Amino acid sequence: MGEVTRPAARPDEHAVEVHLVPLRRRHLRSVLRIESRVYPRPWTLALFLSELNLRSSRHYVAARIGGHLVGYAGLMLSLDEAHVTNIAVDPAWQRHKVGTRLLANLARVARARGAHHLTLEVRVSNVGAQAMYRKFGFETEGVRKNYYAETNEDALIMWAHHIDTPAYGSRLAALEAAVPGATIDETEGGRRP
C-alpha cells in the first residue's frame, strides 16, 4: 500500500524539518499505510473520509518530512472539550518528536476553538505515549475495560484540564521550544517560525 518511507540513515534530530499541513483526501493512502503498521484494528478509508467531511467539529493534521507523510493526528471538538481521536507516527520516524509536534498542534487548535479541556484514550501497554501525554499535562482519570476489542486491552482515559489558561499556554510553548529541528506549521493552529 505505497512505499515505505524510511530514513536512509538515522538523521540528526536537530536537522529534521517537519511540515504540519491540513490532512486532505490525497494523504489518505499514506495515512492508511501508517494505520496498518501501528494499530491492530486500523481505521478504514470510509471512516477517515467521513471525519474529514466534519470540518466544523474536526481538525486533522499531517506531518511531512522531505515530502513524505510520516504521521497524522485528529481532534474532535464539542462545546468546551476537545478529544484526540488519533495520533500516529510511521515507526521509521518515531523518536524524532513528530508525535510531540502533532499533539502540540492539536492543543493549539483546541485552545483557539475555545476548548477548556482535552481528553484521549491510550492503551494501558503504551507507556511511551503515556509519558508524552503527561508532559502535556494529561492525567489518568479512568479506565475503559476491554476498549481495544481486538486485543482485549484496557484503555486509560486521560484528561488535560484548563488548557485555556495562560499557564497551559506557557507549558505548550516550553514543550515546543524543546523540540529539536524545525517545525513549519501550515495549519490553523500553526505558529510560524
Q: Report CA-CA distances (Å) from 78 to 118, 120, 140, 151.
A: 10, 13, 20, 29
Active-site residue numbers? Answer: 121, 133
- Is residue 70 within 8 A of residue 37, CB to CB? The reply is no
Q: Residue 66's CB: how many other CB atoms inside 10 A?
A: 12
Helices (H) and strands (E) in the chain, counts: 5, 8
In angstroms, the CA 38 to CA 18 distance is: 20
3-class DSSP state of 81: strand
Cα dist from 25 to 44, 48, 54, 84, whole Å: 13, 9, 13, 20
Element at 101 (helix H, strand E): helix 98-112
